[in-house]
Amino acid sequence: MAYKHNGEDVFVVDSHVHFWDASPANWRPDASVYAEGWINCFYDYHKNLSPPEWVWPLPKYQKYTEQDIMKDLFDEGYVDVAIFLPTYLKDWYTKGFNTIDQDAVLVEKYPQKFILNGRWDARDGEAGRKQLREDHARWGIKGVKLYTAEWKGASKGWKLTDDESRRFLDLCAELGIVNIHVHKGPTIWPLNRDSFDVADVDDVATQYRDAGLRFIVEHCGLPRLEDFCWIGTQEPNVYGGLAVVMPFIHARPRYFAEVLSEMLWWLGEDRLTFASDYALWSPKWLVEKFMAFELPDDIKEQKGVDLTLESKKKILGLNAAKLYDIKVPAAQMVSG
């Protein structure tokens, strides 16, 4: 559903969505405590940060339908294009939590609505690079989602600066997979908080700047916002993905204003991307509250930033559209 705000056309790209299966039938018997704990942790974020009328029952949250996602994103949620960011977690989920294959079903059916991203794990070595080549050849992917704290056997995480990681980043540069989405935010039980530390973004952002790679730091490093901002201001190829940041607009609006204003001051309005993290949250209420939101006067005065209509349009869709070469109707561009 095309979005208008006070007569203004707004193009919306939800840059972080999933089509997951965390139902008990998909829990690995030898890891069910982790599979259940993971989705329950997600559900706690969903319950605690959503308006009450937007809270789902747990069984629906564990596994929702094609009809749900199409209604919530496009029929009601104002989204023009949604970007899938897969998360595998095959140590816990038999078929994976949210794989490329799961997402591809909807991409093939609704090619104008979805963009499919890939993924890789530095610990997969040459077999993983072979898979990445195949995924790129089949789907023409322009981006990948990296989950540095994912468990794999005895390993509980890896870093972007690992030698094997650099081999994957070299391959991304070679193939033109330029959008590197990295989960660097709140931990989800039972993953380790330290494996989501944002520090390793700094080195690779410098190394791969000339190669054209962009590092979209999903969740903006929270709770390490200051570290993220210091890195982002030095590295022009570092972006902030606002998944998890966005729902604080309801649950803690002052905190949301402080976080967003910091990133506007350090990174600017051209390097922030809207995301619902669906089905963690539904985009409809996030978009509506964001378009109605104003920074408090004391924050605007103290930091010298503002959240203008132009800023909102860039964050809600135009910035992500540039990253993914999405065609935007002229009426939905910023004026001037």
Mean pLDDT across the stretch 67-83? 97
* Predicted local distance difference test score (pLDDT) of residue 335: 62
pLDDT in tens, 124-143: 999 999 999 999 999 999 99
Cis before 223 (ω within 30): yes
State how far the Cα of 99 lies from the Cα of 150, in Å rounded to an integer: 14
Contacts of 320 (CB under 8 A, 6+ apart): 13, 15, 83, 273, 274, 326
- Helix, strand counts (H, E) of the chain: 14, 11
Query: 299 CB contacts (<8 Å, ≥6 apart)?
Result: 257, 258, 261, 305
Could you please state the CATH topology (level 3) that the domain comprising 10-324 is classified under. Answer: TIM Barrel (3.20.20)
What is the residue extent of each domain of the chain?
Answer: 10-324
Q: Per-residue confidence at 1, pLDDT binned at 50, 70, 90?
A: low
Q: How far apart are CA 273 and CA 57, in angstroms?
A: 29
78: which residues sit within 8 A by CB, 6+ positions away? 1, 2, 3, 10, 12, 283, 284, 287
Helix or strand (DSSP H, E) at 41: helix 32-49
> What pLDDT band is residue 5 in, cutting at 50, 70 and 90?
confident
Check residues 114 and 4 and name the one with the higher pLDDT.
114
The pLDDT of residue 333 is 77
The yes-or-no verdict on residue 60 having pLDDT over 70 is yes
Q: CA-CA distance, 236 to 185, in Å (whole number)?
A: 20
Stated pTM of the model: 0.96
* Burial class, 325, CB count within 10 angstroms (exposed 0-12 / middle 13-18 / buried 19+): exposed
